[in-house]
Amino acid sequence: MPKMNRAFERGFTLLEMVCVLALIAMLAAVLLPLVPRHTSRSRLQAYVLQTAALLKEDRNAAIRRGTGVATLVDAGSRVIRSGATPAVVRIPDDVHFEALLPRTCNQREALSTISFFASGMSCGGTVALTRADVGYEVRVNWLTGRIEIVSSNLAN
């Protein structure tokens, strides 16, 4: 059997493969932070569900405690803060955030809040979250305190 000359064998050595993988990893580490991260439709839905859940928890806490609970809705700082728990929903900058809130509640200034009473009633309010052609509203009924999510297709 003739002895084969290793100089003519084709292929890559393990060291060459490791070097190529290391270069790819370094490029990914440098370039990935530059890729824009936009809120997806499913992530927008998650923010809407978190908002509705936070409002429902505050309403339930008002009924359970027998006292009023006020949820802070601050569109300027893009935060919805529970009045009963430490829960906070932070809305990203690429999501359009609007709040339609009452000026007064129980003959007092509402001050950017959605208030719930021990009876389950509320002064009402609406939180709208939109991104590109998708939008959702979280509505709080002023009479019943019921929280509902309404989808709106903005592409029309």
Is residue 93 in a domain?
yes
Q: Residue 74, class by beta-carbon neighbours within 10 Å (0-12 exposed, 13-18 middle, 19+ buried)?
A: middle
pLDDT at residue 58, rounded to an integer: 96
Question: For residue range 95-154, what is the model confidence (pLDDT) as tens digits?
Answer: 999 999 988 888 888 779 999 999 999 999 999 999 888 999 999 999 999 999 999 866
The domain containing residue 131 runs over which residues?
41-153
Is residue 124 in a domain?
yes
Q: How confident is the model at residue 6 (pLDDT cuts 50, 70, 90)?
A: low
Q: How confident is the model at residue 80 (pLDDT cuts 50, 70, 90)?
A: very high
Q: How many domains does the chain have?
A: 1
CATH number reported for the structural domain that contains residue 138 in this entry: 3.55.40.10
Cα 103 from Cα 52, distance rounded (Å): 21
With tokens 């939008």, the residue in question is 135
